[in-house]
């Protein structure tokens, strides 16, 4: 007989449902599991009837008073948890309750759990000049430098997420200007290659002497002149790419934090600044909701200043 409680059994069924039926990523499933476990443990939830307005309210108060450096989420360091981080827990709980209702259980209505109000999300940006300094940083006399240049050119050409970049294999058809990529929620979208990106990838692959299927792999030797011998996997991880980007940003004299996602921001803002419409950028980024894409619009309306200056009536 299973030692798991009723609530644990239902939670497991829910997690399997969102992964299989809803197509959520393994990472999302893991996060939902962690958020729900934290709620159950903190409020001593043993059965569905324990999930009440009071237990949710007490949990929200507890979350709101947690310091962000504790292992309760992904909030900022120092101070208390961001409202946005607190909402991740509430969203997971609401989704769980919606699933239970669909299964015929009588539980607290999900719409009774209101999310905390959050300020408009700001995005980190670098200028095109700063981006160019990063891209021109790698030493093209080494395999490592060729690899790193290819990473930067590909990130800026496609707007890929770092996890999507890491998943690429070297059998990518470079005779075409586009390729499909499987993104969040297992959704497939098409991204496009610039001539610069294709040249950089070809130059890098021409110097590879290993047989690993991964597009981007670890390199060894003084100055990164050779590819590591294969043990398990030499495919670069998301963390590895983040370290690479950080290294070249520092080398370029950029004091602000630069990540692969910042280059994705640069991709989006570059398109919008040059006249691309929001719906097209949404499709290229793989955003499920256009409101996610709209965060870029307030930083791409630089032409409005010129319009105001040109057309606004002058007081004489």
Give the residue numbers annotated as catalytic, written as ranges: 161, 184, 261, 264, 287, 296
- Angle, helices 53-64 vs 83-102, to 10°: value is 160
CB burial string 10-20: b at 16+ within 10 A, e below: bbeebbebbbe
Separation of first and last alpha carbons in the chain? 87
Instruction: Tell me the HSE value of 94 on the side-chain side, using a 13 A CA sphere.
Output: 12
Query: What span, in angstroms and rounded, lies between the C-alpha atoms of 147 and 242?
Result: 14
8 A C-beta contact, residue 48 and residue 10? yes
């Amino acid at each position: 007989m299973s030692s798991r409680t009723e609530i644990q059994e239902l939670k497991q069924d829910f997690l399997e449902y969102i992964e299989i039926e809803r197509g959520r990523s393994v990472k999302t499933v893991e996060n939902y599991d962690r958020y729900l476990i934290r709620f159950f443990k903190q409020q001593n939830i043993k059965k569905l009837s324990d999930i009440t307005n009071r237990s949710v309210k007490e949990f929200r108060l507890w979350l709101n008073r947690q310091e962000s450096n504790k292992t309760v989420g992904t909030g900022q360091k120092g101070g208390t948890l961001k409202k946005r981080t607190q909402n991740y827990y509430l969203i997971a709980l609401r989704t769980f309750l919606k699933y239970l209702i669909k299964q015929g259980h009588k539980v607290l209505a999900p719409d009774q759990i209101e999310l905390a109000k959050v300020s408009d999300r700001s995005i980190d940006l670098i200028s095109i000049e700063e981006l160019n300094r990063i891209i021109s940083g790698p030493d093209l006399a080494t395999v490592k430098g060729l690899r790193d240049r290819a990473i930067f050119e590909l990130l800026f050409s496609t707007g890929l997420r770092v996890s999507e970049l890491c998943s690429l294999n070297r059998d990518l058809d470079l005779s075409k200007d586009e390729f499909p990529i499987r993104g969040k929620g297992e959704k497939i979208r098409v991204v496009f290659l610039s001539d610069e990106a294709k040249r950089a990838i070809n130059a890098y692959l021409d110097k590879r002497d290993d047989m690993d299927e991964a597009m981007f792999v670890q390199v060894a030797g003084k100055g990164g002149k050779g590819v590591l011998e294969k043990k398990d996997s030499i495919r670069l991880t998301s963390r590895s790419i983040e370290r690479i980007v950080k290294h070249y940003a520092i080398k370029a004299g950029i004091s602000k934090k630069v990540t692969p996602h910042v280059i994705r921001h640069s991709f989006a803002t570059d398109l919008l600044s040059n006249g691309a419409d929001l719906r097209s950028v949404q499709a290229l980024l793989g955003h499920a909701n256009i409101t996610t894409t709209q965060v870029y619009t307030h930083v791409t309306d630089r032409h409005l200043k010129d319009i105001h200056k040109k057309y606004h009536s002058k007081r004489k």
